[in-house]
């Protein structure tokens, strides 16, 4: 299908989408204005009128995206999509090009990451195309135990899979610019060796056939710069994670299909589970420095959306392969961990305002930037709208009570208000019905029709209970970002760990107090007119209980055993997910022994570590530790590993001469000159479970 037809279709769809969004928003705004006709306006009413188009416009955008996606599903897919072009007829004959699979990590669960790499290696091996792919584990971990374990895991994988020269490990000395800086470091060092790179998160997995097909799609379409997949959320055990992955399976794909239908060749990039053409990425996608006074806030945190816009501006296409199977990720296990993630995402998305009106940005990219901004800005706007609406209703009730007769009270009620409310509910819930309709043909893979519908009903209740809670937190996150609070990019918890009731009360208890106070004030001042606020107050009241119950792993697994919240991947589990659920039993109560001291004690671990750390020439011979580390080394010997802070440990481990010297001292000094903990660690060097797992390979 020619590009001219594709460009015409893209222009037509964007015109329909933009025009439809404006028309629906204008219609809703007109209904709102008409509902105020014949009434006296108070200052809160003007705030409601000003904010309404922003809120209703966002609802209209989501509604239209679902409609576009459902229409594409009904007709069997988008005929203009990249993955439906004539090249698919000769797909098996398209040769592959050198491709790097890049996995940035930061203090991640090493066993989980290495098992994912092994599964992907085996899947690629079955395709017969493993020779075209190399793996790069790019670490920014600042925890010494994770660092040493990553090195041991790398050696284990290379030995087990006979993958020396195919699986590489790189630990950055200075983790500048977090994940985007890690990927940039890979591109500078090894980018010229490869034509493509497949970016994965630590919790991402892709099947071998999918990776082969994506690379062939790039080879057949040299105008494409980024090809993003729609990963399925999998491996959830807690109720919260299972609800997330269920809603993603039922509703998420239809929204992704709608976005792809509207954006077409100016699609989205989400930073993982995507294949990228390296040469234009290096040349055109270097992230700019933001023009803000604070140097700590100049780096673009959420780099993916900006990189897609820059790739598009350079003349390359960005597509979303929304219906490609074999691409997976995991979600946050509970509300607490999701809020930590949202705090980072909020700070990153708000930075995108600088690019919303930048020159050369395609309309599809501007739409994606706008949706990302409003995903968090809608929370303070919604909260302000609710407060202003309540104050306006109170002022109007007082005015009518003191100055109007019975006939005026009856005349003040307008039919437009309930009609506008019903329209809003339709726009909010019809996309859910469309998602359910698109899932009905594979209802058996969701546990059957009855279990599918019951799961949808429970998921809707959970969504209604969590949305007002997230609104308050997102409002706080927006204020943090606007006021310039520094946001740390921390490791995401990927284990299904439950929350204690005390943690939930500490984190969400203030919302319970706010819910009680808000309901009391609403009943006192608004009377029956406060009924529309009651669901919000109930959600705030039960926020700690909701967070606590949904974090239960036992409840999630119990519902799964009964056939609820099932997803298609659980009906027929793919081999790429085998063994990725670590510690499937009850959570371990014992803290594992520290691993980094074994880099000083165990000759095998030390050899691995020294081979991975770049040697820097120095003036001394290596018989004594580096002068700058002499006091630190003596304190380590005399007071034990617990005496050193994390940064001090990292300084020691980066210095090859000091590591070598400490090994000799720890084994040759008498017990009286060593801290007592060293003898226990020496005996543990042959018993440590991690060492046995990674180093004793048959």
Separation CA 312–CA 247 (nearest Å): 31
Lowest mean pLDDT among 11-15, 330-334, 535-539: 11-15
Strands (E) in 84-238, as ranges, are 99-105, 133-139, 167-171, 196-199, 205-206, 224-229, 232-233
What is the pLDDT, as a whole number, of residue 686? Answer: 56
Residue 647 lies in a domain: yes
User: Model confidence over 405-430: pLDDT tens digits?
Assistant: 444 444 445 566 778 888 999 999 99
What is the pLDDT, as a whole number, of residue 313? Answer: 93
Q: How far is CA 487 from the centre of its chain?
A: 16
- Nearest in space to 21 (alpha carbons), one of 376, 414, 382, 363: 363
Per-residue pLDDT band at 103 (split at 50, 70, 90): very high
145: CATH: 3.90.550.10
What is the pLDDT, as a whole number, of residue 585? Answer: 44
- Nearest in space to 336 (alpha carbons), one of 566, 512, 492: 492
Position 402 pLDDT exceeds 80: no
User: Model confidence over 110-138: pLDDT tens digits?
Assistant: 999 999 999 999 999 999 999 999 999 99
DSSP string, 87-129: GGGGGGGSPP--EEEEEEESS--HHHHHHHHHHHHHHHHHHT-
Lowest mean pLDDT among 226-235, 403-412, 593-602: 403-412
Residue 528 lies in a domain: no
What is the pLDDT, as a whole number, of residue 5? Answer: 60
* Domain end (from 306, 335, 364): 335
pTM: 0.91
What is the pLDDT, as a whole number, of residue 677? Answer: 87
What domain count does the chain have? 2
- Quote the domain boundaries for residue 651: 598-695
Looking at residues 98-103, what average pLDDT do you find?
A: 98
Per-residue pLDDT band at 505 (split at 50, 70, 90): very high
Residue 117 lies in a domain: yes
Helices (H) then strands (E): counts for the chain: 28, 10
Residue 173 lies in a domain: yes
Position 403 pLDDT exceeds 60: no
What is the pLDDT, as a whole number, of residue 420? Answer: 86
Residue 226 lies in a domain: yes
Position 545 pLDDT exceeds 90: yes
What is the pLDDT, as a whole number, of residue 488? Answer: 64
The mean pLDDT value of the chain amounts to 89
Separation CA 601–CA 466 (nearest Å): 50
Position 404 pLDDT exceeds 70: no
Residue 46 lies in a domain: no
The CB density around residue 358, as the number of other CB atoms within 10 Å, is: 16
Residue 484 lies in a domain: no
Residue 474 lies in a domain: no
């Amino acid at each position: 299908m020619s590009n001219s037809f594709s460009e015409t279709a893209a222009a037509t769809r964007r015109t329909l989408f933009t025009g439809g969004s404006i028309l629906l928003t204008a219609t809703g705004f007109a209904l709102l204005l008409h509902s105020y006709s014949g009434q006296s306006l108070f200052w809160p009413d003007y705030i409601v009128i000003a904010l309404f188009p922003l809120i209703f416009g966002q609802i209209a955008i989501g509604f239209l995206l679902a409609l576009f996606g459902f229409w594409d599903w009904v007709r069997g897919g988008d005929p203009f999509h990249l993955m439906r072009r004539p090249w698919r007829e000769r797909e098996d004959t398209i040769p592959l090009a050198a491709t790097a699979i890049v996995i940035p990590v930061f203090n991640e669960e090493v066993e989980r990451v290495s098992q994912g790499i092994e599964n992907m290696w085996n899947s690629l091996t079955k395709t017969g195309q493993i020779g075209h792919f190399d793996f790069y584990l790019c670490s920014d971990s600042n925890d010494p135990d994770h660092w040493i374990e990553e090195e041991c895991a790398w050696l284990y994988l290379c030995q087990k899979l006979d993958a020396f020269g195919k699986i590489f490990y790189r630990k950055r000395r200075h983790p500048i610019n977090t994940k985007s800086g890690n990927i940039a470091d890979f591109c500078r060092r090894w980018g010229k060796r490869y034509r493509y790179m497949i970016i994965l998160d630590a919790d991402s997995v892709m099947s071998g056939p999918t990776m082969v097909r994506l690379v062939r799609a790039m080879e057949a379409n040299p105008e494409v710069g980024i090809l993003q997949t729609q990963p399925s959320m999998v491996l959830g055990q807690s109720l919260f994670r299972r609800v997330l992955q269920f809603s993603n399976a039922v509703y998420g794909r239809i929204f992704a299909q709608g976005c792809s239908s509207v954006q077409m060749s100016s699609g989205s990039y989400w930073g993982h589970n995507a294949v990228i053409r390296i040469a234009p990425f290096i040349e055109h996608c270097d992230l700019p420095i933001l023009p803000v006074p604070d140097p700590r806030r100049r780096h673009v945190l959420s780099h993916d959306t900006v990189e897609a816009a820059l790739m598009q501006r350079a003349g390359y296409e960005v597509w979303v392969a929304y219906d490609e199977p074999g691409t997976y990720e995991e979600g946050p296990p509970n509300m607490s961990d999701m809020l930590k993630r949202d705090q980072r995402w909020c700070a990153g998305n708000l930075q995108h305002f600088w690019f919303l009106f930048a020159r050369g940005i395609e309309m599809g990219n501007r739409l994606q930037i706008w949706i990302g901004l409003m995903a968090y800005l809608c929370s303070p706007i919604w909260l302000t709208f609710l407060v202003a609406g309540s104050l306006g209703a109170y002022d109007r009730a007082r005015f009518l009570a003191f100055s109007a007769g019975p006939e005026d009270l009856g005349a003040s009620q307008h039919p437009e208000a309930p009609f506008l409310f019903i329209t809003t509910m339709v726009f909010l819930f019809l996309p859910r019905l469309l998602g359910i309709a698109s899932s009905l043909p594979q209802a058996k893979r969701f546990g059957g029709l009855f279990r599918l519908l019951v799961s949808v009903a429970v998921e809707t209740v959970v969504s209604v209970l969590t949305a007002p809670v997230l609104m308050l937190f997102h409002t706080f996150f927006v204020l943090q970002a606007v006021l310039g609070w520094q946001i740390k990019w921390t490791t995401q918890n990927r284990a299904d760990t439950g929350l204690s009731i005390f943690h939930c009360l500490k984190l969400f208890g203030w919302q319970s107090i706010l819910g009680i106070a808000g309901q009391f004030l609403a009943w006192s001042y608004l009377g029956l007119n406060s009924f529309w606020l009651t669901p919000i107050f109930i959600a705030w009241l039960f926020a700690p209980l909701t967070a606590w119950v949904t974090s239960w792993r036992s409840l999630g697994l119990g519902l799964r055993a009964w056939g609820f919240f099932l997803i298609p991947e659980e009906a027929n589990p793919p081999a790429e997910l085998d063994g990725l659920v670590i510690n499937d039993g009850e959570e371990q109560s014992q803290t594992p022994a520290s691993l980094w001291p074994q880099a000083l004690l165990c000759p095998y671990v030390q050899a691995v570590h020294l081979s991975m750390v770049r040697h820097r020439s120095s003036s001394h011979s290596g018989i004594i530790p580096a002068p700058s580390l002499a006091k630190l080394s003596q304190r380590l010997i005399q007071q034990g590993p617990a005496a050193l802070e994390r940064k001090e440990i990292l300084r020691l481990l980066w210095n090859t001469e000091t590591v070598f010297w400490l090994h000799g001292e720890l084994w040759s000094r008498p017990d009286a000159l060593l801290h007592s903990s060293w003898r226990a660690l020496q005996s543990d060097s042959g018993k440590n479970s991690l060492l046995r797992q990674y180093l004793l390979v048959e």
